[in-house]
Every structure is written in C-alpha cells, then in structure tokens.
Structure 1
Amino acid sequence: MLAPSVVLANTDYKIDLTQPEHHKGEVSITFPASEEKFLDIKMPAWRTGYYRILNLANGVRDFEVRSNGEELRWEKVDKSTWRIYLPEQSGEVTVDYEIYANQLGRRSRHIDDTHAYLDASAVFMYADAWRNEPISVSLDVPEDWKSYSGMERQGDHQFTAQNWDVFVDSPIETGINTHYAFTQDERNYEVVFWGEGNYDAEKTVSDLKKLVGTGDSIWSDYPFERYVFMIHATTGAGGATEHKNSTVIQRPRYSFASRDDYLSFMSTASHEFVHTWNVKAYRPSGLVPYDYQKENYTDLFWIAEGSTSYFQNHLLLHAGIMEPSEYFERVATSIDRHKAKPGRDVMSVAEASFEAWIDQYGDRAHNDSVNIYSEGALVSWMLDSELLETTEGEVSYRDVHNELYQRFDADHEGFTAADVLTILKELTGRSWQNWWQSNVETPADIPFETMLERVGLELVYEKDDEPEVWAGWNANDTSGGMELTRVSKGSPAWEAGFTPGDVIVAFDGHKVVDGRFSDAFKEYEAGESITVTFFRRDQLHEKTLSVKAKPATDAKIEPVDEPTAEQQARFLQWLQIPHPNA
C-alpha cells in the first residue's frame, strides 16, 4: 500500500466534537490572507446526491472572525453568505462558529454521544477564492472515537483533500464504530459500521468484496484507488448517498437479516457503487461544476439516477449475490407499479428530470408525475433492449455508459442529451433522435412483453376466479372512519368525485364496525353501485360509487421452457449470465 501523499493545505478546517451530547460542534476555519476589501464565505444550500434546497446555514450560531488577533467586521448578505470586511494589512482570516447537527436522515450532519457524521456541505463553509486550493481538516474527538473518510489520511483524526470539491464529496464518519478493510484487484476498501443491528458484518463485507469486483462488467476501469462504505444501523432514518470515494447507507437497525431486507440493502450498496462512475466520474452538464448555492437543473437526471437504478441489480447478478428469480421478482414489481401510476401518461423522464428539485405532493405525485429513479430505470431498460435488438447483440446500454465515462470527466465537463445521441449514433450507425423524442422527451409507452420475449421471458398474471372489487383509492383507518390518502386518476373513486382527505364513515347507510372498511368493501361485486357516506371539511356528504374488478396485479416474470438460441444469446448479452433454461 502506498503511503499517502502530503498536501500543503491552503485552508485549514478544525472541529471540536469533545462535547457531542447536545448535537453541537465547534468549527474553526483559517483562510489564507487576501488583498481584497472583503471576503465572502458561504455555507452550501444543498448537498450532492440529494436534490433539494436544504438551507444548511440554519445550523450556524455564534459566528466570529479574527485576523492578526483582532476581531473583524462582518455582515450576512444573504441566507448562506457571510461578508467579512478586511483591513489593508490583514493576514490569515480565522472564522469560528458553532454548528448544530441533528439531521441524521438527511445524511448531512449528525452529532451525538456515539458518533458524528459530517458531510462538509452541511458543516463547513467555503470561499470561492480558495475553492480550487488544497485543504486539511482535523477533528478533536472523545478518546475512544475512530475517524474514517475517503480523503487522504494524515493522522488518526486528520485528513487532506486536493480542493473543496473533493472535501465536500468526502464525508467523515467518526465515533464508536466497527471497521473492516480488504483489497480487491489492487484497490483498497474499508467498511465502517455504526450502530447496533441484526446485520451479519462478516457476510456483508464478504458480499461487498464480490460486488466491487463487478465494475469492469460495464466500465473499462475504476475511477478510484480507495473506497469507503459507511453503514448506519439506526432508528428513524433510511436511505443512502453516493460520494466521490465513499458512500453512506442508512437502514433501520433490524432491517438487515431477512433475505428480502438483505437484498434491499445490497441493492442500495450496488446503486451507490454504480454512482461512483455514473454521477461522480461523469454526469450531466447542468451539474458541472456543482453550484452549491442554488438548484442545478438538467433534463438528464433520469440517466444519473434511473440508469443507476437499472444497473444496480445487474451487478448483484453478475457477482452471484442475487439469484435470477429474485431479479425477475423485482422487475415484475416495477412493472406493476408503473402500470398502476397514471402519471406515466402525463410526464416524460426528461420533464421529471428538470422538475426533480420540486417536491411533488398529494395526488399530483401519483397522477401527474413520474419518478426519475423508477421510470428512468424502465426507460434505460427499454433503450438497452432496443440497442441489443438493433445491433444483434453487438451493442448494449453498458457500452453507452462506458463511452460517457471515457469522454466526460465530471471535474471539467458534463454531457448533454446531444452528446448521448452522438454516442448512440456512433455505436450503432443510425440516428436515435426519433426514439429519444418518443420515449425520453415524451411519456414512454414501454413494450414490456416484447422486451421480455426477446430474452426468453414472459409476463404472467395469475387469474383470480373471484376478483376483488376496486375503487382506486388508498386510505388510512382512523378512529372516525377511513381517510383517503390518494385517488387514482380515471378510477371509480376519481370518476365519482372523491379526493384525498375525505373520511368515509359508511357504505349503503351502514357504519362499518371497528373500522374494518376493507373487509366490508370486499362484500361487493364488480359493477355494483355503492352509496358512500363521508365527511369533507367536517360536513357530511353522500356519493354513489360504481366499483369495478381490480386490475391485474402481482405480475410474475417466468423463463420460457425452451428458449431459442437467439433468446439465449440475447439474455446473456443483456444480463451477462446464462438463461435459466439454457
């Protein structure tokens, strides 16, 4: 293992975490001397990997600034910017402030008596003048704490980075934790567990070692020499975030042991690992360079997130961590969810990408919108299938992503839709402009049955001799009735005029005993009309609901018994494993 290179720091960051019980740390930053009249220092308004304005400056208190032992005048010029007025003979400028860190679920900053998770975007300020200069960060922590980061280590609790952008994309996990290390293909990996849970650490590390060996199934090489997995087993938080040289994965502490939970965890780990290339090594031009003070718009988030979701389980299959039947089950579930979402006919993945910064809520999220992750994954699959079919298996969507990796360095240049279309044309010898217009810029009509048939699979729905009736609403039982939370566009409930917030109290004049509305509803048959009594704005109303048979759900994907040679070949070209019935 090579010794880390020593970086001369131009900006020095320190944080005192020796009294963490109240979620607070004391930050001190020393900036180089400047000949300017003032220095603007900023706290980011969002963090990478989570496309929402978070207003992270709300954690700052007791701001002070000094130079040459003298306090300097400052003022806040906007919600995230502090302007420091510099004297003519100023030296280095030292800024001190307290940071409040109790946002574990946002994976931005969290300090307590067992650990601190520090994403620099939510903890440390920066100055544009020094953004491209080296930095160092040191931590003063309780005696039994251990510190880890994807940055270069210079001591037990000290790290360095080439510049702010590496620093802000290299979170720190410090505290009472369990650490593992391994080497795979001459690259170094670390796994850090914080928190008690029902995980099997040895198995997890063993499977992560299998996972990280699959990167070359898509890309020609790796963009790192060292990578850190940070795993939080906790309460009240879940999710994950990719970073340049590491990831943080949060799970409820008892959601690791079952097979389904474990595969969910490993899928998340794979998703974040794919991001090491797709987003961190290459990403859309709207995100290059990151502007930490405002939204960064692009119509290609569906590639950044959706294609990552598409590839995540391919790597698990390739590594032997997930069985083909388990993969088919997850694809079938995604098909069911797609078909049950009216928004698929309204919003394209390009529009969803541009709108990603806007929180969709209520019925709009379901009826008029799609998700960049799930819909982006399905459009990615559709493009992969078309590429394989058009080129008789010579070109796959993996080749497109490897070309993006080879041509676009996210530190300098991002890619556009035109760049993707150029790559598609160069790889296949034909224009993909019409396909793009029909399936990316317009809501896609995804031919699932055709795509599956090409690879020797079929979509199956079990017939129900006594189909359930369907209203098209979702609801929560309350003490006073059944409160609607969602009404699907075009459903019987939608046509009858029901809306979220309505509280249903009776069917056909009969109060439902003990709140068993679902059981009572099952007594009706498709085609019947029901008089529904409900409260809206605390007033009692009645409407007639004409129920229908429940649409086919619980899709299953099954391999055909005797796949043709072409289907077997296409399956292998698609997933890089043999067809189950080959």
Structure 2
Amino acid sequence: MIHYYLSFENPLTSYLQVQLTLEVPTDASQPLELQLPAWRPGRYELQNFAQKIQRVEVEDAQSGEALPYRKTTKDRWTVANTAGRTVRVRYNFYAHQMDAGGSWLDESQLYLNPVQALLYAEGRQQEPCQLQLALPTAWHIACGLPQSAPNTLTAESFDQLVDAPLIASPTLLQRTYEVQGIPFHIWIQGACVPNWQQIIKDFEAFTEENLAVFGDDFPVSDYHFLNQILPYKHYHGVEHHNSTVITLGPAELLMTPGLYKELLGVSCHELFHTWNVKSIRPAEMQPYDFTKENYFRTCYIAEGVTTYYGDYLLARSGVFSAAQYFMELNGVLHKHFDNYGHQNLSLADASMDLWLDGYKPGAPDRKVSVYHKGALVALLLDLTLRQLSQHQRSLDDVMRRLYEDFGKTGVGYTEEDYQRVVREVAGRDMQAYFDKFVYGTAPLEESLNKALRFVGCTLRMVENGSVSEGLFGFRTAVRNEHTEVTDILPGTPAASALALEDEVVAVNGRRVSQNLQTLLSTGTGRYELAVFRQHELRTVTLMTDGTELYWAKRMVEKLPDATAEQRASFRQWLKQEF
C-alpha cells in the first residue's frame, strides 16, 4: 500500500505539508519515477499543478539518508538507487484556489482536490492507497472515500484516490436522503441557512428522475454532494467518481429563487455525470493519462448531453416548471447564438480544442461551446428520436445503451460507437444529423424549430433592443468612464468601420457619456464616430438602412394554437401539462 500523510503548521500560509511513503521492491532495476498530474478530469486543459509545489525532499524512511533526485520535466522527479528502500518524499503544496477544481487551506477548513497535490509512482497507479490527515480536534471529513480509521481514508488505486475531493472542517453541515435504497449525502460548508426540507424534497425528485433514465441502476454505492457556499458571488461544479464539489455564492442568498435555482441546476448536472463520463467514459481516457493531453472528439456527449439533461430532468421531475425550464433553455440558446464561432468550428473539433483554448474567451468568433451547442444538439436528437418513434424511443435509450455496453463493462466508447447506438435506437440512418451538426457547422435554427413543433413549441426570434447591437452589430462596455468596443459581429456595418478596443468618444459631434444608444437613434442612418484607436484619434462612418437586424434573440415558447396531438406530445416529453 502507498501511504500519504497531510498536515499543516500554519494554515494562514495556505501551505499543506505532504508526505508520500512507499516501499520499492528489491529487484527494481529502474529509477523511481514520481509524477504529479498535469490536469484533472472534468477540465480538459493542462493546468500544471506543479506550480503549487514547494521544497521537494526525498529520503530513506528507515535510515533518514537523503536521496538525490533529478527533476526531469516540469512535473516529474527521478530518484535513483531506491531498490529495496522505503522511500519518503516530502514537499509543500500551496492550497489557495477556491473553485470546484481547486484546493484551499485556512484556519476554518481544509478543502482538497487530491489530483492537484499528490505525486504517484509511475507504473504503480493501481496499488491501494491510504491518505491520513492530521486535523485539529472536532474537525470532520466530508469525502466519498471510506474511512478505515479516524481521519484516514482508503482507496483501491491512485485514480480512485485523486477522484475523491474532501472538505475537513468543524462547521460542516450534513443531511442524507435515500432513493432506491442508495444513500445520498449533502454536505454544506459555509455561512448559510439551508432550508433542508425543501432541499431534500427537490434532490430526491431529480435523483429519482436521473435513476429512471438508466433503469434505476447506479454505478456507485453512495454519493456525496460537497458544497462550498461562499460569501461572494460564484458558480462552479466538478464531477467525481461518487461525489461532486460545487462552489456557489453569495451564501446569504442560497435559498433565494435565483441562487437556489443554480444549486439545483448544477447538482442535477453533476449527478448525471456519475453515469455520463465517470462511468460511460471515452476510449481515449480509459485509463486517464495525467502526464499530457487526452484528446477526444466526444466531449459534446460528455458535457453537451449532460448540460441538456441537467435542466431537462429538473423539469421532468417537476422541480422546475415548464416556464423555469424554458428560461434555462433560452439562456443556452442565447449563449450559443450570441457567439458566431458556431459558424467556424464543429462540435467534434471544439472537443479537441478544449485542450487548446476551450475555457478561455480566445480569438473572436473562432470556436463553439461543447456545453451550449452540445446541449442544443442533444435536445434536437432527443426530439427527433421521439418523433420517429412516437415517443417509444428517446435519448434516454441511447444513454441506457451506452451505460449497458460501456459504463458497466469499463470499456471506453468511440465516436463510431455513439453513432452506431444512435442509429440503432433511431431505426434509421442518422448520418445527416452527425454530418451537419456534429462534424459540420450547419445552422441549427430550422431543424430545431421543426423538432420543437412536434412537442407544441416554437423557436421565436426576438429583435435585439440595443441600437448598437441590433442595427450596427457591435457591443461596448463602459470602463473607467470610457466607452470601449468589446464585440463586433462579422459582416455588419460595424465590421467595416470599428475595431476591438476602440474607444468611442463622440457621435456626430456629440460627446459619448453613457448615452451611445441615444446618440445612435437620432439620425438618418449615417453617423460619424470619433474614436481613439491605439491612442490615435480617428473619424469613422457607420451606415445602415435598417433593413437587416443583428444579434436577434432566440426563445423557446409554447405554440398558442398547439393541437391536441402536440399537447399530448409535450406531456410525454416534459412530463408536465401543456
């Protein structure tokens, strides 16, 4: 067994002391290779956690002899002449990142994502591990791993160990509910007043609906929602083997409609991940390689399908009303159509590019979101399957098949596997769907609107009320009393006159001072703008005849004249009255 021991001397420094102890076989012919993960599951980009490592020391645990080592990459250390020794590695880890993928240490708590902090011995990732924590009296641990002794956690492998975040604190709140005999634990760290009765009622409902998708089968024996409820505005969630970490705030607003809706949405989303990506895993990540990028073209399934189900199952379970669900769906529509990168990059290529710049704004109009377009493409597929079979089959059947064939077997699926399962569930060729919307950049509006009409809904276009956006195709933000251009839509009047970061100072000789929209509304369609571009004053001309409008909003709404058949179809899809 490989042993880890964590302690801290001064929590105000945010430095954890980490100790790794392992026995090296006497017949070991190769040096001991120690590796720190460079990324974490759930965020597909290199994060280089070694930036948080301070003062590495290696010694013989029995004699205390210092063992020389050599750093061979940014996150790899080689220790020679270790055969037959018990090796102890000590180092400090800086835990000062409060988000759902981070770690945090202060006088009130220890929050750890082990994947950031724990080295492993190359070739020995499948050995059992033990993690012992030196904690103050009265601190308790929230974690998905079992405790074999006080403050001691055990894992079957390194992968299981680092996929089990923990919170240790004297102020943890906890409640448990059961669905299908499975215990689900809700842990809360933070200065908030949860309405446990409401929380348990809603969590039970969406948990039951999650289980129903997969035939009431759950991949793990229990589950833990680890919630960091923060004193400031925040929103983030990350999935794990049998747990999730959710960071949300501000704490005093937890039970208000806006923030509570976010808690429900992210919790349902992360629970669905227990099947989709933690169990039903892409072939390229079976197993994880923590040393480099694990490229895969199916993140639109792992994240897009999960984003669709995260809100959809809240409606199907009755936790969200139809109106609440449409509000969330309209938010996804807005985020997708607001970014013209969907015209330039396919979903499959965007999955690959997560490792490049998928979590950053990046170059304008370059990329598409696997979360947002992935969710809309999943909605389109679900409604298409339902229409083809008159609700006898749906995306539920696809996910259930993936779980049976790949989740339960531990075999990773490929993009060809997914296409095959979709085709078999549909009972017809679905290549056009994949060619257009997964591997191509075809517009979604027409197909999505047609699919929505099957359930008595429509995709309505709403004009953008902003003059600069709707008529001219550019956006601004006021920064330090300066009006700066932040976005320009390709092919619009603004695209031939303005550049990003232009500071607009006057319109037709009138000074701009939080009145840009008004100044662009008082003319004949031709405006002279004075702008500072790279600190040089220029005059540019904006012209429009008002016949073409830009950045229109898309909204899902019920058809006022929906037929009885459409209304019945709506009920079968959403499990709610029309």
Same fold, judged at TM 0.5 (above)? yes
**CA shift digits 1:169-201 (9 cap, x unpaired):** 111111132222232221112111112146534
The alpha carbon displacement at 1:16 in A equals 0.5
Amino acid in the other structure paired with 2:424 = E
Q: Tell me which of 40, 43, 49 is aligned to 1:47.
A: 40
Partners of 1:465 and 1:506 lie apart in 2 by 21
The alpha carbon displacement at 1:123 in A equals 1.1
Q: Is the Cα contact below 8 Å between 2:96 and 2:103 reproduced in 1?
A: yes
Partners of 2:409 and 2:127 lie apart in 1 by 14
Q: Is the Cα contact below 8 Å between 1:17 and 1:142 reproduced in 2?
A: no
- Counterpart of 2:502? 502
Amino acid in the other structure paired with 2:105 = I
**CA shift digits 1:259-295 (9 cap, x unpaired):** 1322122111111011111000112212221111111
Partners of 2:551 and 2:415 lie apart in 1 by 36
Partners of 2:474 and 2:149 lie apart in 1 by 57
Matched, 1:249 2:246: yes
Q: Is the Cα contact below 8 Å between 2:350 and 2:358 reproduced in 1?
A: no
Partners of 1:518 and 1:157 lie apart in 2 by 60
Partners of 1:240 and 1:538 lie apart in 2 by 41
Q: Which structure 1 residue ranges, 5 or more long, are not aligned? A: 1-9
SS of 2:320's equivalent? coil
Matched, 1:493 2:489: no
Partners of 1:422 and 1:310 lie apart in 2 by 21
The alpha carbon displacement at 1:437 in A equals 1.4
The alpha carbon displacement at 1:458 in A equals 2.6
For the structure 1 residues 479 and 260, does the alpha-carbon distance in structure 2 shift closer, same or farther, using more than 3 Å as the test? closer
**CA shift digits 1:284-336 (9 cap, x unpaired):** 21222111111111111011001000001122112221101111222233334
Structural mapping, 1:347-496, within 5 Å: 347-359=345-357, 366-409=364-407, 412-446=410-444, 447-461=447-461, 470-479=471-480, 481-496=482-497
Q: Tell me which of 207, 214, 219 is aligned to 1:212.
A: 207
- Counterpart of 2:573? 574
Identity %: 27
The alpha carbon displacement at 1:60 in A equals 1.3
**CA shift digits 1:527-563 (9 cap, x unpaired):** 6111111111111111101244754745543323554
Worse-matched range after superposition: 273-282 or 484-493: 484-493
SS of 1:151's equivalent? coil
Partners of 2:37 and 2:464 lie apart in 1 by 54
Q: Which structure 2 residue ranges, 5 or more long, are not aligned? A: none
- Counterpart of 2:12? 21
TM-score by length of 1: 0.91
Worse-matched range after superposition: 399-408 or 67-76: 67-76
SS of 1:136's equivalent? strand
Q: Tell me which of 67, 75, 89 is aligned to 2:70.
A: 75
Structural mapping, 1:326-345, within 5 Å: 326-345=324-343
- Counterpart of 2:313? 315
The alpha carbon displacement at 1:499 in A equals 1.9
The alpha carbon displacement at 1:18 in A equals 5.0
Partners of 1:77 and 1:578 lie apart in 2 by 59
Worse-matched range after superposition: 352-361 or 40-49: 352-361
Amino acid in the other structure paired with 1:233 = I
Partners of 1:73 and 1:202 lie apart in 2 by 57
- Counterpart of 2:162? 168
- Counterpart of 1:128? 122
SS of 1:322's equivalent? coil
The alpha carbon displacement at 1:155 in A equals 2.8
- Counterpart of 1:5? none
- Counterpart of 2:176? 181
Matched, 1:229 2:250: no
- Counterpart of 1:108? 102
Q: Tell me which of 147, 151, 159 is aligned to 1:153.
A: 147
Partners of 1:261 and 1:334 lie apart in 2 by 17
Worse-matched range after superposition: 294-303 or 462-471: 462-471
Amino acid in the other structure paired with 2:218 = Y
For the structure 1 residues 572 and 357, does the alpha-carbon distance in structure 2 shift closer, same or farther, using more than 3 Å as the test? same
The alpha carbon displacement at 1:250 in A equals 0.6
